[in-house]
Amino acid sequence: MSGEVAQTIVALSSAPGRGGVSLVRISGLQTAETLRALAKNAERMIASPRELVFSQIFEVTNSGDKQPLDYGMGVFFPGPGSFTGEDVAEVHLHGSPYLVRRFLESAVTLGVRLARPGEFTERAFLNGRIDLVQAEAVADLVHAETESQAFVARRQLEGQLSGVLLEIGEPLRDLLSEIEAYIDFPDEELDGLLVEGWRRRTIETRERIAKLLLTFESGRVLREGASVVIVGLPNAGKSSLLNALVGEERAIVTSIAGTTRDSIEEVLSFAGIPVRLWDTAGLVDDSSMRTPDEVELIGIQQSWKRARQADLVVFLYDPLSEVPDEQLLLLEQVRSFARRVLVVGNKADMQPVAVGASPTMQQQMQISAKTGASIEALKAAIAEMIVGEGGFRQGDLQISNLRHREALTQAEERIGDFLLSLDNGLPPEISALELRAALGSLEEIIGVTETEDLLGRIFSRFCIGK
């Protein structure tokens, strides 16, 4: 990797395809030299760093000849005060794929290498401009589609999670230094009060880690989105509900049972939370009075599969149904495996029985998919359920990355092993090993310790040019 880092890299940093402007980024030791070859006013850019300068842009042929290519803007960022920590240049061309391709080919002709996905951000990490949590937050911010996703990514990019992790690890570092100091003087007997102090401080740290781990489920939903599946008997109004939630006629609605044969997916945002919403074929079981045809049966099987994988199942039922026992049996089946179930009574516009009058269904709210009554309340209820019991508050710090959770879990477990070593009177050398391992897990999150494989997995999910 060190040889690659020594090379100057180039890539398109704006979205590919036609547009008003395309932005190409260059980073590395040869940045200024490359800029001089490709921009007529390169010296002005270098002499006035961080200022956009208008310039004619050239292309360079394999024979070394220069030809006019475009007119654009360029800006130079000297290292180490740039994003990557190296000399960086950004050139703004007209948004033509042809112009971008010729510019990149010219840079390669001059000895610059095309960048790998995420390589600019990787260099920023390797050069100490950002830590690993912040690097991952760059990718999350680029992929953010909702307010909550952007908020969580922005907080991590600002270094708030990194700061908390360093703060959590500080007592462990102090404790490790005390234990290692004792190891250097083995003739001294361990004082009981000293060991009790070690135990108390370690338990407090473990409790902070445990509290942070509790935020993962809601954090994961905010980062990745939640899968919400609408299920119920045929003709319960599932497709009408999907249309009401989406705000347009997305699914076909008829009075014929079994109209929906396949799962229909829509991506929405409820209270800033990304939701992948599924309308499914009406579920039936062996007690049903109607036998589905082969195509509908395949749709039903897909419905069961979606419901089992969902973060939340919205069980929609008809309070006026002639088969209430079948609805109740179906609800119990769904509750037997679903992580969360929201029971919703439909067709309030037809004046069904009052909420709570059917205690066996235990409905949580009543709506009308046809008229839109209480649809906004349903959206709020869905958002509240999928982020967990505590809900999402913008002041909260969230763990949203699976890698972070796994490392925190390992740290929590190794702290537990450390406490056991104290309880069992094991030699302090063993206790120090457990404590060092716990610290290593915490430091792995922010990249104090890292492996090439870890970095490869993290930066491979970036787009080219970041």
Which of 15-19, 229-233, 391-395 has the weakest average pLDDT? 391-395
Eight-state DSSP code of residue 39: B
Q: Can you read off the two tokens belonging to residue 153? A: 């990514």
pLDDT at 419: 92
Eight-state DSSP code of residue 350: G
**List of domains in the chain:** 2-130 (3.30.1360.120), 137-215+399-447 (1.20.120.430), 233-386 (3.40.50.300)
Q: Can you read off the two tokens belonging to residue 288? A: 């049903």
Sign of the torsion formed by the C-alpha atoms of 330, 331, 337 and 343: positive
pLDDT at 414: 94
Contact 277, 265 (CB under 8 A): yes
Residue with tokens 């509900």: 241
- Say whether pLDDT at 249 is over 70: no
Residue with tokens 């005060």: 81
Q: Which pTM value belongs to this model?
A: 0.71
Residues whose CB is less than 8 angstroms from the CB of residue 204 and which lie 6 or more positions away in sequence, other chains included: 171
Which of 8-12, 18-22, 227-231, 461-465 has the weakest average pLDDT? 461-465
Class of residue 128 by CB neighbours under 10 A (exposed 0-12, middle 13-18, buried 19+): exposed
- Say whether pLDDT at 228 is over 80: yes
DSSP string over 136-150: HHHHHHHH--SHHHH
Eight-state DSSP code of residue 392: -
Mean pLDDT of the region 125-143: 89
Residue range 280-298, pLDDT digits in tens: 765 555 444 445 545 445 5
> Taking all residues of the chain, what is their mean pLDDT, rounded to a whole number?
82
- Say whether pLDDT at 442 is over 50: yes
Confidence of residue 253 (pLDDT cuts 50, 70, 90): very low
Residue range 57-109, pLDDT digits in tens: 999 988 878 999 999 999 999 999 999 999 999 999 999 999 999 999 999 99
**What is d(CA 147, CA 151) in angstroms, rounded to the nearest whole number?**
6
